[in-house]
Structure 1
Amino acid sequence: MITLSDIESAAERIAPFIRHTPLVPATALREPVTDARLWLKLECLQPTGSFKVRGATNRLLTTPVEQLRNGIVTASGGNHGLATARAASVAGVPANIFVPRSITPAKLDKLARWGAQVHVVGDVWDEANEQALVFAAEHQAAYFHPFADPAVVAGQGTLGLEILQALPDIDVILVAIGGGGLISGIATALKALKPSVRIIGIEPEGSPTLHACLQAQQVVRLPAVTTQVATMACGRTEERVFELARHAIEQVVLVSDAALLDAARWLWFEFGLAADLSGAAAIAALRSGKLALPAGLNVCALVCGAGQEGI
């Protein structure tokens, strides 16, 4: 699907349009969550508030102009929709974003402020995506898949390059999983440059997408998606994404929606960081006790999405 070269090209391409976000040590904590040396990669500080701007921007910049004339369409739990709306704004074309009913009001408001036409469809991303595909075909608009598009995955993989540059001694990285594009892109970059890095994913108990695929050793569709975290709700990943991830991911940790909320509140209390629940996933895995890492390891936790103050 993608290679290290694709990710390196994406990094150069998107550099003028994104922020090189800080990697900060999680020190001086009132309530530590691990014995390991913990670092936070603050992708919540990106334009539109998440890492998704990397993939959407790379997709925009690799798409011929004539394919953009009728606008851009996608389906999203919120963060990819915002990134796509911003990409459409950069290109000066309309954005039609299909979202499930579980999207947060704050993300709906941000989508409107980016000038997107928002369509609320279904209970989960998969249902919204079906209508997005129909709309894109009917209007001959460019469709930006949130996790199964090679250009999008390569864009997300640029995070791996930044983290390794800032923390060459990284031992473990903790990555939230929705559809799997982020962890697949990061895994491609890190395993090519530092194969010893342990890559651990985090999913909601109510949407164990890659966890189920890894157990079955093939792509499977979940019988139901019950998490209320729209940005991490996906009933089925794509084969190409799974092939990138299956041999690179050490394990997938499942956490409850309540643990995600608790972790987001911890980030606000300890750092004043307003993270959404997906952005708090790495901390949830540690704080809930689902993942224990020993002292001496350098651990990077992605704070991959922004939320509301004191969520």
Structure 2
Amino acid sequence: MSYEDIKAAALRIAPFVRRTPTIKLEHCAGFDLRNDFHLKLECLQVSGSFKIRGAANRVRSLPPERIQRGLVAASGGNHGLATAYMAHQSGVPATIFLPSNASPIKEEKLRRWGAEVRRAGNVWDEAQEAALAFAERQGAFCMHPFADEAIVSGQGTVALEMVEQLPEADLYIVAIGGGGLIAGMSQVIKTVNPKARIIGVEPVGSPTLRACFDAGRVVRLAEVTTRVATMACGRTDEGIYEIARRNVDDIVLVDDDAMQRAAALLWFEFGIAADLSGAASLAAVMSGALVPPPGARIAGLVCGSGVDGFNA
């Protein structure tokens, strides 16, 4: 996967996505921020998250007969919604496998897009096993959320827009689930601005890439305890790890409550409806897990929408 692949993906997915806006975090009574900090609002994206970028690129890269028997995905919610949307656009059925900790609201949205929803396992990895077995039985195409070049190239198009919208940014903060988003984005960012720093954010209860960085190889977590289904992954992909190892400068960990507080601030101060993964960039700074250098110009990402901040 190259920078040119990501540029090609941007052209391929243009009919299916929005160019989402950015907002500067200022005039905020709930948070004393000393850095210039902008967020890109992928919570306003088609299907509610950045995931449509990868899903659209994967589906539009396939011959129509390959998806004739439907699309299948395992998801904490957002990838499933993107898959269901592309199935709807393509006129084929979608079957989405959710772990037990996935949001009931995201499940309802999946059904509204016409997807068949099945619960399987307690974490994404277990739902993925069920999805793969189902896809093989049905002859359907299984949409992996991160171990797929076309998916990762699609996710990288977020950064193509960010480097244009925020040309002065020199510190990027990106949430990590399986790692596809940060892998794709980092290819763009380091190509355009090799001196920019890229910081990943993972839950304390699912330090998937952090554990790999510490071990110097891909490892499987002994357990996943975070309640953030969209950031819960026991093992990343070898290719994702290699890209992240080259491009990502550090990974910080935040607890679920820190993301909850950040989601609440985004809602009450800015009217932004973020899910917990969408609040992770802000949570890293609010919690002190990441202390930006003075003068750093920060670009974060509200990667997914949700109601997690409404009742905090």
* CA apart distance, 1:99: 0.7
SS in 2 for 1:247: helix
**2:249 aligned partner:** 250
Task: Report the equivalent of 1:263.
Answer: 262
8 Å CA contact 1:33–1:286 kept in 2: the answer is no
Letter in 1 for 2:145: P
Q: What does residue 88 of structure 2 align with?
A: 89
Per the alignment, do residues 290 and 33 of structure 1 end up closer, same or farther by CA in structure 2, a change over 3 Å counting? farther
Aligned length: 310
Task: Provide structure 1 residue ranges, at least 5 long, that are not aligned to the other structure.
Answer: none
Q: Distance in 2 between matches of 1:8 and 1:235?
A: 30
The equivalent residue for 2:179 is: 180
Q: Spell out, residue by residue over 1:98-140, the C-alpha distance to the aligned partner (whole angstroms, 9 max, x if none).
A: 1100011110110010100011000000000001000111111
Q: Distance between the aligned counterparts of 1:236 and 1:170, measured in 2? A: 31
The range that moved more, 292-301 or 178-187, is 292-301
Q: TM-score, normalised by structure 1?
A: 0.98
1:278 counterpart letter in structure 2: S
For residues 83 and 34 of structure 1, the distance between their equivalents in structure 2, rounded to whole angstroms, comes to 33
Q: Deviations over 1:227-266 (max 9, x none)?
A: 0110000000000111111121111110111111111101
Task: Give the C-alpha shift of residue 144 in structure 1.
Answer: 0.7
Deviates more, 1:162-171 or 1:286-295: 286-295
Q: Which residue of 1 aligns with 2:37?
A: 38
Corresponding position of 1:133: 132
Q: Percentage identity across aligned positions?
A: 54
Q: 1:66 to 1:265 in 2, by over 3 A?
A: same
| 1:241 counterpart residue number | 240
Correspondence for 2:8:
9
- Looking at structure 2, the residues matched to 229 and 52 of structure 1 have their Cα atoms a distance apart, in angstroms, of 16
1:310 maps to 310
Q: TM-score of the superposition, structure 2-length normalised? A: 0.98
Q: Specify the code of the residue in structure 2 equivalent to 1:138.
A: R
Across the aligned residues of Structure 1 and Structure 2, the Cα RMSD in angstroms comes to 0.9
CA distance in 2, matches of 1:28, 1:241: 38
Please, which moves more after superposition, 177-186 or 263-272?
263-272
**Deviation by residue 1:253-286 (Cα, 9 ceiling, x = unmatched):** 1011111111110110110111000000011111
SS at match of 1:246: helix
Residue range with higher mean Cα deviation, 31-40 or 85-94 = 31-40
Q: Is the 8 A contact 1:11 1:155 kept in 2?
A: yes
Letter in 2 for 1:310: F
Does residue 191 in structure 1 map to residue 183 in structure 2? no
Range moving further from structure 2, 188-197 or 23-32? 23-32
The aligned residue for residue 163 of structure 2 is: 164
Q: Which residue of 1 aligns with 2:71?
A: 72
The amino acid across from 2:62 in the alignment is T
Partner of 2:204: 205
Aligned partner of residue 110 in structure 2, secondary structure: helix
Whole-angstrom distance in 1 between the partners of 2:286 and 2:271: 17
Gaps of 5+ in 2: none
1:31-82 Cα offsets, whole Å, 9 max, x none, are 2353110001000000111000100010110011010110000100000000
For 1:134 and 1:145, locate their aligned partners in 2 and report how far apart those are by CA, in whole Å: 13
Q: For residue 57 of structure 1, give the secondary structure of its aligned residue in structure 2.
A: helix
Q: Contact conserved, 1:85 with 1:111, CA < 8 A, in 2?
A: yes
One-letter code of the match for 1:178?
A: G
